[in-house]
């Protein structure tokens, strides 16, 4: 036997990578209630409107072709995205949800011992994929549940390889303006990759928000990710994309599975992104309800973090039984499913997705009952 072949005792067993030890399992938003009652599901920031009828028709239309592999070059979808967003087709790579894209970016650019810099209330999958790569997670504190550029820049070290932010952020719904993102980027060394996750970007109506495509065009160390899971209503199909500098695209194209974006997902997403009227209606509905929900919830004594996304973080003070878990139980007993969130800031918060008119009315009525109970 060659001396270079390692043997291990028979009683041993394979060990997982060290970063995985102690990693908690992702807790998805609840889908159903005990007893299977018909519920208003507001736990996963899914679209209030579902998918565009054009996307559903495209999904049905591809059924006779299901025995064929998908187009590995993702050409039609990438062209449709480029047209809709006014960006360069060669810089787009699609994936099995933006979650896969985030995973690929970490696999491609972060290794054991590197630092992954996140904001305190980060999207959890950044940390999951980072830890799996053996990265050390460094957290920058937030101010009023929003990302803080000075705190982030203050934690950049020679070991920092990536800064990943959701903008707008989940679970807070807060965002950094274009000038703040540019200030952050200007303070980063050129070898640090800035990942701007725009899962909720299509919902934002604030004039000082920018999704970051022009930063990608002008720099080698910025990437933007987007998803079809939120405003496009295709969460179940798993399709997302990134806009990245050429050298990052080259890495992703070498490490991704060739058929990571399924044929059905590509077909539906292509039709969805071409239906920007549907997107505008969803954004308008969301903006109207963000305003109304904030006013109504404040009116019954519930503070919310200002949000530009399709959800709110509701804060409870825990006094007189008015805690987030009690509010969640109250809502669930009325067939409404919210999401309990453990943020770094407080554990007394609840996240609620903006739903359809009647769903939002039901939330307001139920929470008013809870606060007066
Ligand atoms: C900020 C953020 N990024 C990425 C994702 C993942 O989305 P996808 O369904 O595209 O994997 C989510 C899903 O909730 C999210 O909230």
- Domains of the chain in start order, with CATH, are 28-49+277-372 (3.90.1150.10), 53-274 (3.40.640.10)
Q: Residue 324: is its pLDDT beyond 50? A: yes
* Residue 170: both structure tokens together: 């989940």
Q: Is 260 close to ligand 1, i.e. is its CB under 6 Å away?
A: no
Report CA(26)–ligand 1 centroid distance (Å). Answer: 12
Q: Residue 4: is its pLDDT beyond 60? A: no
Which atom of ligand 1 is the closest one to the Cα of 171? Answer: 16
What value does the mean pLDDT take over residues 262-280? 98
What value does the mean pLDDT take over residues 99-112? 98
Are the C-beta atoms of residues 133 and 110 closer than 8 Å to each other?
Answer: yes
Q: Is 119 close to ligand 1, i.e. is its CB under 6 Å away?
A: no
What value does the mean pLDDT take over residues 317-324? 87
Which atom of ligand 1 is the closest one to the Cα of 239? Answer: 10
pLDDT (tens digit, 9 = 90+) per residue, 38-63?
Answer: 899 999 999 999 999 999 999 999 99
Q: Which residues of 7-33 are buried (b: 16+ CB within 10 A; e: fewer)?
A: eeeeeeeeeeeebeeeeeeeeebbeee
Q: Residue 228: is its pLDDT beyond 70? A: yes
Which of 103, 124, 127, 170 to mutate to test ligand 1, by most ligand atoms within 8 A of the CB atom? 170
Which residue intervals of the chain are DSSP H helices?
Answer: 53-61, 75-85, 97-109, 124-132, 149-154, 178-186, 213-218, 246-255, 263-274, 276-299, 324-333, 357-372
Which atom of ligand 1 is the closest one to the Cα of 169? Answer: 1
Residue 343: the pLDDT is: 56
What value does the mean pLDDT take over residues 343-360? 85
Indicate the pTM of the whole model: 0.95
Q: Residue 325: is its pLDDT beyond 80? A: yes
pLDDT (tens digit, 9 = 90+) per residue, 107-132?
Answer: 999 999 999 999 999 999 999 999 99
Q: Residue 8: is its pLDDT beyond 60? A: no
Which of 172, 229, 232, 269 to mutate to test ligand 1, by most ligand atoms within 8 A of the CB atom? 229
Q: Residue 329: is its pLDDT beyond 90? A: yes
Name the residue with tokens 């060739």: 258
- The C-alpha atoms of residue 313 and residue 293 are separated, in whole angstroms, by 11
- The C-alpha atoms of residue 114 and residue 142 are separated, in whole angstroms, by 22
Residue 1: the pLDDT is: 43
What value does the mean pLDDT take over residues 260-264? 98
Q: Is 170 close to ligand 1, i.e. is its CB under 6 Å away?
A: yes
Q: Is 235 close to ligand 1, i.e. is its CB under 6 Å away?
A: yes
Share of residues in the chain with pLDDT > 90 (%): 86
Report CA(299)–ligand 1 centroid distance (Å). Answer: 31
Report CA(51)–ligand 1 centroid distance (Å). Answer: 16
Which of 101, 103, 123, 310 to mutate to test ligand 1, by most ligand atoms within 8 A of the CB atom? 123
Confidence of residue 344 (pLDDT cuts 50, 70, 90): low
């Amino acid at each position: 036997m060659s001396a270079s072949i390692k043997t291990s005792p028979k009683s041993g067993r394979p060990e997982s990578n060290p970063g995985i030890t102690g990693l908690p399992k992702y807790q998805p938003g609840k889908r159903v209630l005990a007893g299977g009652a018909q519920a208003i599901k507001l736990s996963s920031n899914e679209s209030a409107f579902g998918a565009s009828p054009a996307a559903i028709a495209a999904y049905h239309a591809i059924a006779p072709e299901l025995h064929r592999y998908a187009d590995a070059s993702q050409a039609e979808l990438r062209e449709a995205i480029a047209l809709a967003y006014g960006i360069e087709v060669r810089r787009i790579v699609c994936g099995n949800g933006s979650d896969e894209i985030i995973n690929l970016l970490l696999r491609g650019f972060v290794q054991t011992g590197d630092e992954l810099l996140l904001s305190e209330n980060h999207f959890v999958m950044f940390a999951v994929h980072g830890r799996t790569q053996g990265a050390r997670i460094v957290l920058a504190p937030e101010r009023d549940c929003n990302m803080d550029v000075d705190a982030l820049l203050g934690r950049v070290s020679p070991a920092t390889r990536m800064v990943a932010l959701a903008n707008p952020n989940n679970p807070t719904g807060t965002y950094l303006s274009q000038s703040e993102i540019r200030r952050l980027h200007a303070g980063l060394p050129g070898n640090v990759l800035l990942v701007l996750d725009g899962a909720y970007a299509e919902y934002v109506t604030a004039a000082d928000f920018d999704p970051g495509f022009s930063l990608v065009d002008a720099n080698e160390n910025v990437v933007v990710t987007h998803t079809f899971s939120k405003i496009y209503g295709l969460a179940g199909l798993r399709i997302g994309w990134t806009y990245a500098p050429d050298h990052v695209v080259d890495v992703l194209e070498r490490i991704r599975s060739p058929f990571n974006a399924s044929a059905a997902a590509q077909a539906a997403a292509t039709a969805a992104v071409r239906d920007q009227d549907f997107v505008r209606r969803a954004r308008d509905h969301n903006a109207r309800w963000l305003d109304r929900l904030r006013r109504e919830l404040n009116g019954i004594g519930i503070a919310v973090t200002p949000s530009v996304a399709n959800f709110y973080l509701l804060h409870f003070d825990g006094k007189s039984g008015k805690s987030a878990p009690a509010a969640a139980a109250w809502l669930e007993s009325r067939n409404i499913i919210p999401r309990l969130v453990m943020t770094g800031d407080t554990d007394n918060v609840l996240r609620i997705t903006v739903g359809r008119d009647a769903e939002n009315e039901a939330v307001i009525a139920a929470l008013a009952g809870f606060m007066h109970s």
